Structure 1
């Protein structure tokens, strides 16, 4: 891999009232089920931060550390970027309680729920008081703490890149992506974020969906797909896509990152250069269809079309769409 990401090409445009008012550039890596690169746009070999798209691999490392979740849903929340809805908070607290821990052990930043209804509800009840459990990465942090408790590792330093858990995460990421981690940063939640290539992250997701039943990789994928509402939220694109297409695995990340994988088809990883999340899922889904030959199931087509060509509003009414250029 080269030392720095070089950027991509135009992959989407925003059309308002029949007029193209803006464009998004980015890079796309598409693999076959074995993880081989079969198509690409832009720079797919240089390291980028996948942000929360790394979470399935972090959850896998938690299992490898010896954590045994109390339920499939507890494993799903550890790989989630939740929106602070009541069922999200219930699962985060379940993971902590299963390890004999509490919210005071969390080291993610205090926040308010990302879901507007959930945020309004907690503000009405407690006032605008941010809490760590509301933060969208609290599921990952609760899982990290539970893994440390299971392994007998220090709880206070679990975010340190040299902590045994984070070293295991790094080894897991390198194994699944086939990349050497070239840079370690600090994610928005305070935990380490690891830079790998787009091809590498797509290869990892292909491995998740092709893993044999009962393996730790398959456990993570199955938990996410069985509980998609936990992964982002009621109206989130990951929830909607995984609900519409059984077997599909999707995980978005900050700064315009998204990965989607389908068993027997392959995976698509997308980085939007300007960090715009509105273009990442449409491009990922379209890449699977046009570059990997994925045939969207007929029953899922309305929902997948809505995610691939999201509406642009004017005056509260649809006046255009985000249009992919693949």
Structure 2
């Protein structure tokens, strides 16, 4: 099984993707893997739930009366649909900042209807359309509440970025001094750590009190509950994270990251899953994730069928005809202690 993810055009194999998978429990024990479970990886936006924990820990989310949908939003890589943009606008209004305080840049949103309406009305793309605008509004909320500089909140030396490092160190079980730091697509620090440690973070996000009873575990629980109660805020229409959490009805918490990263936590088993597509192509990530969930016995036949478009993903042409499939062909390696 040298080609774990296969892309077919008709009946012909056209392309392949290599993947790495780590599955761990809340203790950090590696139970299953494929490829290199310790591959150094930038989890990218998969780290947003832990960045959100730092906002809640300051007391800022409560002080500015965040509801659970807004907590979910600050974990999001959203489509830029009206529900997402309006929620960001509400947060900014509450902390008395203008939209230009967001330093995430902007881009064409995934929600094409919103983009077409913007063009028809002669509008311009602004930062609120960025898929990371929720995360940035959360960081600004913490900076405002803590009376810190809102102009330098992206700087790794900023107190809020240091708080994020503290969260990652404890939850992911990796010393912050060993983290390699670079810059994410939206301009904030991004952290490199072994894939296994990212999986550990998601195990503890899924089952925080099974990890340890503490204030930080309770903050993780709040973030998990917000994401799973309001999955529409995490991604949006036709997004794997959103649809997976909806189908599993609050059991799974999921967050994708750029360059082919997908992370999932299972609150029932306390397992954390981290996947990295070696070439960074995100089209392979959901296919790999669905196969992992199936092999672990987490995804039964009924739910698999509900999510089939992500497990046996169609390859479409410009006419929207299905002319091929993306499929999985690998078997997880199990270690002592695995079920």
SS of 2:60 mapped into structure 1: coil
Are the equivalent residues in 2 in contact too, given 1:256–1:279 (CA < 8 A)? yes
1:17-96 equivalence runs, <5 A: 17-68=10-61, 69-96=65-92
Runs of 4+ in structure 1 deviating by more than 6 angstroms, as ranges, are none
SS of structure 2 residue aligned to 1:10: coil
Query: Does 2:301 match 1:305?
Result: no
Check if 1:198 corresponds to 2:201.
no
Range with bigger deviation, 281-290 or 160-169? 281-290
1:323 corresponds to: 327
Aligned residues: 316
Aligned counterpart in structure 2 of residue 223 of structure 1, from 222, 226, 236: 226
Structure 2, gaps ≥5 residues long: 331-339
**Distance (Å, rounded) in 1 between the aligned partners of 2:60 and 2:194:** 28
Offset of residue 80 of structure 1: 0.2
User: Is residue 15 from structure 1 mapped to residue 18 from structure 2 by the alignment?
Assistant: no
Decide whether the 8 Å contact of 2:294 with 2:300 is kept in 1: no
8 A contact 1:267–1:288 mirrored in 2? no
Match 2:166 to one of 154, 163, 171:
171
Q: 1:116 aligns with which of 100, 103, 112?
A: 112
Deviates more, 1:274-283 or 1:307-316: 307-316
Three-state SS of the structure 1 residue aligned to 2:274 is: strand
* Distance across 2 between alignment mates of 1:294 and 1:144: 37
Deviation at 1:268, TM superposition (A): 1.5
For 2:77 and 2:275, how far apart are their aligned partners in 1?
A: 17
C-alpha deviation, 1:298, in angstroms: 5.2
| Aligned counterpart in structure 2 of residue 272 of structure 1, from 277, 280, 289 | 277
Decide whether the 8 Å contact of 2:293 with 2:299 is kept in 1: no
Shift of 1:299: 4.4
Contact 1:35 1:207 in 2 (8 A): no
Kept in 1: contact 2:316–2:323 (CA 8 A): yes
Secondary structure at the aligned position of 1:13 is classed as strand
Secondary structure, in 3 states, of the residue corresponding to 2:4? strand
Q: Aligned to 1:195, what secondary structure does the other structure show? A: strand
Taking the aligned partners of 1:34 and 1:124, their CA distance within structure 2 comes to: 53
